[in-house]
Amino acid sequence: MTIQVKHLGLQDYQSTWQAMQDYTNQRSAESDDQLWIVEHSPVYTQGLNGKAEHLLRPNPEIPIVQTDRGGQITYHGPGQLIVYVLVDLKHNKLGVRALVSILENSIIELLQQFNINSEARSDAPGVYVSGKKIASLGLKIRKQKSYHGLALNVDMDLAPFQAINPCGLIDMRMTQLKDLVATENLPSLAELGTRLCTILETQITSVARS
């Protein structure tokens, strides 16, 4: 089984979410795993167990979508690199925790290419730079198949995060690649997505072959 990488560009959140569900529901044991590189128009998404109090100030211009991933509320917008991870956990010999670690470690490896030291936290999934959050994770597992994935802040308006407790983390400050890398060294979102998916594919297949 190969891993297909699909560059989808700027997409509506709900139609992409529906497409992930449709692919997961109809895929067979022979279906390829897929990584979808995408950006979304401004949207807040609330996880299955999300608490309403983590939305501090509703914004009439930014819709809120109750979605089926794990976790609390987060924000997506243009300039944020999203990779949706549609993989067969059983085929790849992965547990959920192992997949989360692969997502986190792949982001950490990508950031190391820019000499940025980052880390994961055992108490709060995601990736952090000097205590600020640069990437968020959220997954849904259905019949041992995953969808949803990761969001890496690259070159976006971070202001909408100030209206929420990101991922339920009170007083959590956000950061992005643009603020950590010289402008002339900042690749396009498409190139970053390709680099990140190469790392993800390497880590996933290395587990599957072990």
Residues marked as catalytic: 167
Tell me: is residue 56 an annotated ligand-binding position. no
Tell me: is residue 138 an annotated ligand-binding position. yes
Is 107 within 8 Å of 130 (Cβ atoms)?
no
Return d(Cα 165, Cα 53) in angstroms, integer: 9
Tell me: is residue 2 an annotated ligand-binding position. no
Tell me how far CA of residue 182 lies from CA of 115, 122, 134, 151, 155, in angstroms.
12, 30, 16, 21, 12
Tell me: is residue 95 an annotated ligand-binding position. no
Tell me: is residue 136 an annotated ligand-binding position. yes
- CB contact burial 158-173 (16+ within 10 A = b; e otherwise): bebbebbbbbbbeebe
Rg (CA), the chain: 16
Tell me: is residue 54 an annotated ligand-binding position. no
Tell me: is residue 137 an annotated ligand-binding position. yes
Tell me how far CA of residue 48 lies from CA of 73, 139, 180, in angstroms.
9, 11, 32
Return d(Cα 3, Cα 25) in angstroms, integer: 18
Tell me: is residue 15 an annotated ligand-binding position. no
Tell me: is residue 107 an annotated ligand-binding position. no
**Tokens describing residue 89:** 């956990």
Tell me: is residue 75 an annotated ligand-binding position. yes
Q: Which residues are annotated as a binding site?
A: 69-76, 136-138, 149-151
Q: Which residues are annotated as a binding site for substrate?
A: 69-76, 136-138, 149-151
